[in-house]
Amino acid sequence: MNIAKDWKDYEIIDMANGEKLERWKNIKLVRPDPQIIWKNKSFPKEWEKANATYKRSNKGGGGWNYKSELPDSWQIKYKELTFNIKPMGFKHTGLFPEQAVNWDWMINKIKSAKREIKVLNLFAYTGGASVACLYAGASVCHVDSSKGMVSWAKENVISSKLQNRPIRYIVDDVVKFVNREIRRGNKYDAIIMDPPSYGRGASR
């Protein structure tokens, strides 16, 4: 397993009892994580400094309990890349920090290709990989069925000052879009796919 160890704006401070305490720049959040099966906190005092905690409800879903006022969104940087963080439903923040190892790998591959690289990013979410590939010099086709996620990806591209690089944003179902691309004979050098365990299509 590769560890995303180059973050400065993000860290996991502690983990215990099915929860993790994370720092996103200067904001500390507690989020559930079922993989954390051990009980003892290593730094119990640190948990008291959390700005917000996501609590699952026993009726399904859950919500954020705020201990202090939080901005609606704030920015964190990974090397030259800038992302907008927002505490959302389903404990999401709009970024999976562990993906940074993949971004580094993609950046390295694209830069060392020494030619124009066309990337198709499927289930592209808020565009972590799209931003990384654009930064490395690739052209990107960013596909996600959620209009809200595609707008958020645009914000991340702009915040990373990459808005003048070649990116196409597509709000569509991945299967429909890929079938259209096959019919049109469009080809890509690299395809990124990080699908959820079940898709929701283009109905949202």
Ligand X SMILES: C[S@@+](CC[C@H](N)C(=O)[O-])C[C@H]1O[C@@H](n2cnc3c(N)ncnc32)[C@H](O)[C@@H]1O
Our CB check for ligand X shows the closer of 117 and 192 to be 192
Answer for the pair 46, 14: CB distance below 8 angstroms, yes or no.
Answer: yes
Q: Could you give the CA distance from residue 165 to residue 139 in angstroms, rounded to a whole number?
A: 7
Distance of CA 169 to the CA centre of its chain: 16
Our CB check for ligand X shows the closer of 50 and 81 to be 81
Our CB check for ligand X shows the closer of 51 and 126 to be 126
DSSP 92: -
Q: Could you give the CA distance from residue 65 to residue 30 in angstroms, rounded to a whole number?
A: 10
> Least distance to ligand X from the beta carbon of 125, Å?
4
DSSP 99: G
> Least distance to ligand X from the beta carbon of 133, Å?
12
> Least distance to ligand X from the beta carbon of 31, Å?
15
Q: Which residues bind ligand X (CB under 6 A)?
A: 96, 99, 123, 125-126, 128-129, 144-146, 149, 173-174, 194, 196, 199-201
Q: Could you give the CA distance from residue 63 to residue 91 in angstroms, rounded to a whole number?
A: 7
Our CB check for ligand X shows the closer of 65 and 175 to be 175
Query: In the numeric block, which tokens belong to residue 119?
Result: 């990337």
In terms of DSSP H, where are the helices of the chain?
44-47, 100-113, 128-136, 147-159, 174-184
Our CB check for ligand X shows the closer of 14 and 82 to be 82
Report the SS3 class of residue 1: coil
> Least distance to ligand X from the beta carbon of 129, Å?
6
> Least distance to ligand X from the beta carbon of 50, Å?
24
